[in-house]
Amino acid sequence: METTRGYEVRPSSVALWTGILAGPVAWALVFELKYALIDYACRNHAHWLFWIFVAGGLLICAFGAFSGWRGMTADASPRARFMGIGGMALSIAFAVFIIAMPIPDLYLRPCE
């Protein structure tokens, strides 16, 4: 463990925090990109662009779940187990949210 300004930095801390934050960040990124680029998609008939955002968000969530699992297995403390399970659960939950976001896109076009 490294000591930075009197604090202990565990090697698993980065992986655990990545697991916790990846899902919400991915959802916010997909949500904002879809909102910001709706006019572009409407003008250029680029409906496929939204599906790329969804796929990218799901990849980020998968990376977050993997990071949470990796951080949990690297450290045997109760804190690491709690954060690892929480990170995996958050990544899975936000992946479900990201999957639910394009359901209206199946029935409506960006210009409607």
Q: Pull the structure tokens for residue 87.
A: 């990170």
* pLDDT tens per residue, range 50-69: 999 999 999 999 999 999 99
* pLDDT tens per residue, range 66-92: 999 999 988 888 888 999 999 999 999
Spatial separation of the C-alpha atoms in residues 69 and 89, rounded to whole Å: 10
The yes-or-no verdict on residue 19 having pLDDT over 90 is yes
Is 53 in contact with 27 (CB distance < 8 Å)? Answer: no
- Residue 27: closest CA among 56, 47, 52: 56
- State phi, psi for 6 to the nearest 5 degrees: 90, -5
**Strand ranges in the chain using DSSP code E only, listed in sequence order:** 2-4, 7-9
